[in-house]
Structure 1
Amino acid sequence: MNYGIIRYIIGKVIEIEGAFFVIPVLTALVYHEWSGLGVYVLLACLYMFAGFIMSSKEPEKKEFYAREGYVLAALAWIIMSILGAIPFVITGDIPSMADAVFEIASGFTTTGASILASPEPLLKCNLMWRSFSHWIGGMGVLVFLIAILPSGGGESIYIMRAESTGPSVGKIVPRIKQTSKILYEIYTALTFILFVLLVLGRMPVFDAICLTFGAAGTGGFGILADSVASYNTYCQVVITIFMLLFGVNFTFFYMLLIGKARDAFRMEEVRGYLAIYCAITLLITLNLWAQNGHFMHQLQQVSFQTSSVMTTTGYSTQDFNAWPQFSKILMGLLMAIGGCTGSTGGGIKVSRILVYVKGIIKEISEQVHPRRVKVLRVDGKRVDDSILRAIYIYLALYTLIFVISLVIVGIDGYDWETTFSAVLATINNIGPGFGLVGPTGNFGMFSVMSKLVLTFDMIAGRLELIPLFVLLMPDTWKKNG
């Protein structure tokens, strides 16, 4: 284990988190929130100073491998969540540290689950920090770090793979540093376009900034008690489209930019993603139309909800808790599936579902024709055995964490729908579930133990499970081996 590089990079992460406080500082200045201003300025100085001290001495050995990459990702997200929660506690908006860590971890992991009955009483600077945490976490702070640091060797791929979503992460261009910059340029451009469109729809600037951060990071923290329901249909449609876009693999956008549109639309994961979204949106719309009529209104509302849930954003315009059972089951399936690999969305990912389905078909085909050797391919490329093994391990770990979390959270004694969907919503980084944690509910009623478990689930889900397990293994911390 290269402890020097871990100290150095974690120091940079703490320094960057302090620098990110400039956003709530500016907000506090605009809205004359002097108490909030003092808190954020003081903490920004402390974090940047502490981070500078930790990273002032460069490590003698800069080489690191997968083990260090996983540890760095896990430690970075845990430390960011703890430090990011402190402003809420000091300002008194969220006095409980456990609640504050849950809230900001939900922000950084782009989950959007909240312990607040209503966000409206919070200081504007806290609302902005809460929403901005979505944007930070959407692409990943370590990917940001790779993009801005002057050094960036080939080892950086291990950090990127540990933090990025999906079964495999590669380079868009030969240099990983350049790949990180391209990802953030696309991310920033789409964010800016969304903000402009919302302002053109007469959404207040503060609201537009917060909702843009949430949609871009597919996080879903609203700043009103009814989430997005109060805004006009134009704004809802714009947010629907952009949530769907941010759930797409960013390689798709890069291919469009370099003029390879045909190859971009041939990506099986993207086509599968859009097909699942369209099919389930249509089925739920027909289900609601059969009961309530008004097809076009139902289509617009269902399109928003399915886009929000499939991309694991968590915004809402309706209480889908009140939908018919058939529609709720389909929404539950979307919660599990999630977005694409290499997007800001959570969930199991469409690429894994695609491989699972193709793997099942391959196994059945080989049972029928034992002598036939069928190669599993995605986008015309063979899926390596190492990727298959990683996908199956992910599913096993996912099931294990889900069951253990379900048992622990179940001790609180809430109904099955609430307990099951609370775990499902946090491990898949969705936000709202069903029952008491539905779109009109919150997670505030859970015990401290359950909140800690659900916080773990959010971070584990965002990091694709493996990094936290690597962090907790004693062998990880041995200098040799």
Structure 2
Amino acid sequence: MIHYKAIGKIMGALLMLLGALMMPGVGFALYFGSHDEIALLSSAFVAFAIGGTLYFSFSKQDQNIRKREGYMIVTLSWIFMSVFGMLPYLFSGTIPEFHNAIFETISGLTTTGATILNDIESMPEGILFWRSMTQWIGGLGIIVLTVAILPLLGIGGIELFVAESPGPTSDKLHPRIRETAKRLWLVYIGLTIAVGILYFMGGMTFFDAVNHALTTMATGGFSTKNASMAYYDSAFIQYTAIVFMFLAGTNFTIIYFGLIGKFKRVWKSDEFKAYATAVIFLALTFVVPIFYYSGQEFEKSFRDGLFQIVSLITTTGYVTADYTAYHQGLTLLFFMMLFLGGSAGSTSGGIKFVRHLTFVKNTWLEFKRIVHPRAVVPLKINGDRVTGKIITHIMNFLLIYLMIFVLSSIVMALMGYDILTSFGAVATSLGNVGPAIGQVGPMDNFAFFDPSAKIFLSFLMLLGRLELYTILILFTPFFWRAN
């Protein structure tokens, strides 16, 4: 039996928290005189009112949270956050259509970074800040935030944490899940402040530095400028973004161990070594052809290439150049990066390096098993043996991901979009990246899609952000059967 009243109480707490997070935008609206403070206040009031009603109506309920409730809470929380998170757009009239407002909100919360806005710089400052805040909220996840700072929930937080962060990682910062969540968020907040200060020192205005700090650490990619990071033709700003995008794509437990001096734990991570090696290898591979085809000086070619590689691999989605303008071969290689993703336990979307690493290692060992059928050839990651259950889980994930990509691309093509645009839109939505190929390249946006296509792509963003299983399990009959 599913405890719906317990779910209702937690949903109420989440909505109140969402309303509280809308309030900082009011300060920017008043400071800049952008006249959107009423929209933000009204949205916060609605979230508070409905959230408070839910919470206090079920405040005395026994909160027996198990796996099923955990998955339902996570899925419903992202849906509720999307619906209530779009209210500032609707109330301010900046995005008056439902399909556009929900698309922009889900793109923000899932840190995808795809946008329907044609003129970002014309948006009022309060709304722009809320737009960036949606990505920062979604970076490590609202559930992790709640488990970290709202002990009033008094629930088995591990079920929420696992449901929202289903990536295959066994690293633990602390045996208590609440302490782990707190430490993750302290690292997250600290790095956000650090990159914001560096952006400001590099020449960004305070407002732009704050917004880009929020979306950099969230690997979201929303910018306050129409040209994204290309607007800032500054090596300091762009190299700063590269470093912090790379950090945001790193498992936050690895960053934590590095910060406290446990470097052996850092270098023990096979995923981190694969992730760093891939970035270095791709940067060295791409710099020469980009230099050749772009006609720019070598340093600028290297910076643009490294920036786009890190931005796509970490699923941040910032752009400094049109990578589709170099050569069709390079365009294809950049497109393939949409399927990489950063590290498990990071703010990145995508498949994640640990899954690719497990797949490659297991495939290589399979050749050895064929030659020596009686030998016991275990697969190890970080020196630990990977169980057959985890290998099966990862292989199934990769297969399901591929099937969803293919079928969704067919759906988009049947809607009337060309094959490159269909591939690009589905890959970037499912991987939570932002730019892609076709009509959704780095210099384009998603405004031209039909309402039905935008809703469909929004669903893919949620599916990718929660790594497939969390949502898909709700569509299975045995999930709803009583114990």
Q: Is this a same-fold pair by TM over 0.5?
A: yes
Are the equivalent residues in 2 in contact too, given 1:160–1:169 (CA < 8 A)?
Answer: no
User: Which residue of structure 2 aligns with residue 160 of structure 1?
Assistant: 161
Counterparts of 1:229 and 1:46 in 2: how far apart (Å)? 37
Q: Which residue of 2 aligns with 1:92?
A: 93
Letter in 2 for 1:280: L
Residue 477 of structure 1, CA deviation: 4.1
Aligned with 2:467 (options 457, 464, 467): 464
Partner of 1:16: 17
CA distance in 2, matches of 1:122, 1:412: 31
d(CA) in 2 for partners of 1:11 and 1:475?
A: 27
User: 352-361 or 167-176, which moves further after superposition?
Assistant: 167-176
Question: 426-435 or 284-293, which moves further after superposition?
Answer: 284-293
Q: Which residue of the partner structure matches residue 388 of structure 2? A: 385
State the percentage of identical aligned residues.
Answer: 36
SS in 1 for 2:228: coil
- 1:221 matches 2:222: yes
2:274 to 256, 272, 275: 272
Letter of the 2:9 partner, please give it: Y
Q: How does 1:62-211 map to 2 (within 5 A)?
A: 62-150=63-151, 155-164=156-165, 166-168=167-169, 171-211=172-212
Q: For residues 276 and 302 of structure 1, do their structure 2 counterparts lie closer, same or farther at Cα, with a shift above 3 Å needed?
A: same
Say whether residues 1:420 and 2:419 are aligned partners. Answer: no
CA–CA distance in structure 1, aligned partners of residues 181 and 215 of structure 2 = 21
| Residues 362 and 374 in structure 1, CA contact (< 8 A), matched pair in contact too | yes
What amino acid is the match of 1:136?
I
- SS of aligned partner of 2:86: helix
Task: Give the superposition deviation at 1:151.
Answer: 5.1
Matching residue's letter, 2:245: M
TM-score with structure 2 length normalisation?
A: 0.96
Instruction: State the distance in 1 between where 2:77 and 2:155 align.
Output: 20
Map 1:428-443; keep pairs closer than 5 Å: 428-443=431-446
Q: Give how far 1:476 is off.
A: 3.3
| 1:56-67 correspondence to structure 2 within 5 Å | 56=56, 57-58=58-59, 60-67=61-68
**Structure 1: distance between partners of 2:42 and 2:87:** 11
Alignment of 1:279-428 (within 5 A): 279-291=281-293, 292=295, 294-428=297-431
> Is residue 261 from structure 1 mapped to residue 266 from structure 2 by the alignment?
no
How far residue 59 of structure 1 moved from its aligned partner, in angstroms, is: 5.0
Deviation at 1:472, TM superposition (A): 3.2
- Large movers: runs of 4+ above 4 Å: 151-154
Per-residue Cα deviation, 1:249-303 (whole angstroms, up to 9, x for no partner):
0111121233211221221100100111111111111112233363222111111
Which stretch has the larger CA shift, 413-422 or 244-253?
A: 413-422
Q: Which residue of 2 aligns with 1:243?
A: 245
> What is the distance in 1 between the residues matched to 2:342 and 2:64?
33
Q: AA paired with 1:228? A: M
- Amino acid aligned to 1:429: N
Please report how far the alpha carbon of residue 107 of structure 1 lies from its aligned counterpart in structure 2 after TM superposition: 0.3
Q: Check the 8 A contact 1:8/1:59 in 2, yes or no.
A: no
Alignment check: 8 A CA contact 1:70 1:466 kept: no
1:49 aligns with 49
Give the structure-1-normalised TM-score.
0.96
**Cα distance in structure 2, aligned partners of 1:289 and 1:202:** 27
Q: Which amino acid aligns with 1:399?
A: L
* CA deviation string 1:294-324 (max 9, x = no partner): 3222111111111111100000010111121
Q: 1: distance between equivalents of 2:59 and 2:259?
A: 37
Query: By how many angstroms is 1:170 displaced?
Result: 5.3
**Contact kept in structure 1, 2:247 and 2:255, CA below 8 Å:** no
Amino acid at match of 1:60: Q
Cα contact 1:304–1:317 (8 A) shared by 2: yes
What letter is aligned with 2:216? A
Match of 1:252 in 2: 254
CA apart distance, 1:121: 1.6
Secondary structure in structure 1 of the residue aligned to 2:444: coil
Q: CA deviation at 1:236?
A: 0.9
CA–CA distance in 1 between the matches of 2:212 and 2:132? 7
Further displaced range: 391-400 or 106-115:
391-400
8 A Cα contact 1:249 1:342, kept in partner: yes
Q: 1:39 maps to what in 2?
A: 39
SS of structure 2 residue aligned to 1:120: helix
TM-aligned CA distance change 1:78 to 1:381, over 3 Å = same
Change (3 A) 1:364 1:153: farther
Higher relative contact order (CA 8 A, sep 6+): 1
Contact in 2 for aligned 1:70/1:159 (Cα 8 Å): yes
Tell me the matched-pair count.
Answer: 479
Return the alpha-carbon distance in structure 2 between the equivalents of residues 347 and 196 of structure 1.
28
Pairwise CA RMSD? 1.6
Structure 2: segments with no counterpart, 5+ residues = none
What SS is found at the alignment partner of 1:341?
Answer: coil
- Match 2:236 to one of 221, 224, 234: 234
Question: Displacement of 1:117 after TM fit?
Answer: 1.9
- Say if 1:29 and 1:37, in contact at 8 Å, map to a contact too: yes
Mapped partners of 1:260, 1:5: distance in 2: 40
